[in-house]
Structure 1
């Protein structure tokens, strides 16, 4: 982000841009972020009105969070937008806002309006099942991918002052408290985002290969710079990626493979085990897989014909937790960033 805004260093907007991504949370959170920044008069008036409205809503007993960092929910919104949540459920149950030009696009009659819509699926679940059975014990709950991701993350967490001895000596436990502040839930990579979406955890530690395959990167917060590897296209010698006939491609990652080949006519064969076997036994013409060193490929007489996107471990956030536990989450992110950049 700092690289993106570097062109504006000489602009009066630059101090605002440096804190813009973090401009969400309670009224006090917003004031704290903007404490040392002088806003243009027009922007200050808008912010004052927003704070005043938030305070009025808070007087009704509702918990209110302001988010200045996001774009409108839909392109036709022209003013304030909002979303409503219930405790323990990460998806919103209602959303809406002001749209001054939408109705006039139908019959030409200008008519400012405010509207909202209910997320019936989520509302039904909450009505039938009640709020999430996840009891918030005040701890930051992290879904951590078991195995190599787990092993690489422990030193980073320890560098933040967290005692990870219970995690190192977990035996067969799947839920591991780390002191009074953090609780780790061990899960398979593809399940991490499921726990996030359902409000069971606040943060997830998962490989970007999982996020890319699930096409789910909207709340990615930090690249941990561990677990580095890369998607590749590989096959036996003599393979021609641009051969005209329809090709069969073996992979654990059908979404990534489909995106890579685009309009090219290929048959994608989903494989859960050793993908390298597919070209060797004639099941597929080539494979799309992940490699770190290429050793397994070479030992099986496979060659790399193309390199796809790079992979590393990412920290992702539950959107509701990001707003409710903003300061705790950003404190951990800042500590991890410092550890990564040492």
Structure 2
């Protein structure tokens, strides 16, 4: 996929906000002094009166967003995943989640691919934290097209939403005809030997892995699971019943994320073996994003090797 156009989904977030801002005057955007990094600054340039820099005070920013939502506005609260899901967890839980307010929490720089910023900024726990909040929708787009459509879908639904966007540019494999729906997965490649369910920037790696496995005679069903909560249980159950084995792939701790969500559904409804590929209960460290993804086993080659071993069992 080297010749494919690449876009960072954080850029897609900024562009998606501008598209929506032109159509809806009730959209406001809040940032914690990171507008250049989160790309909410793109919205600020277009609509300076509707963008608010709350400073390095993420907990306060969440509270401001909650208050604005009670006035008929739709706040998009922006900062790094480590600060949105981590530092401000209590405020997100009690001020947005508990009263079920219409606030969209949009977190960039999630996962190991934050790279040189190191372990303190490489948030691999955000899916787990946000999944535990009742009524919270949790999503992670796989490319530019899906990210922009996800921002629109978040605006159109009522209630709290958490979306993780990536720092690094990743391949764009959808075209504009793609229809994104909250709570629905996407079968990209069909197969019956094993199902590979991936989310976020690792979906292109799963697609590549699916093609490599096909060349070796293993028919892998590749699924893009952009909504982690509510999970597309019907699609997961069908994959379990028709493929007999499931591999999950995420740029997140294997504890509490997509893998455990899938395993929970499978255990209750269609028991089959599940192998989780992700960060294996450890902190990251500083380094180039591409090298870190290799080191932590989050590449197509690793997915292929792990899947072949898993299917062989």
TM-score, normalised to structure 1, is 0.23
If you compute each CA radius of gyration, which structure gives the higher value, 1 or 2? 1
More helix by share: 2
TM-score, normalised to structure 2, is 0.24
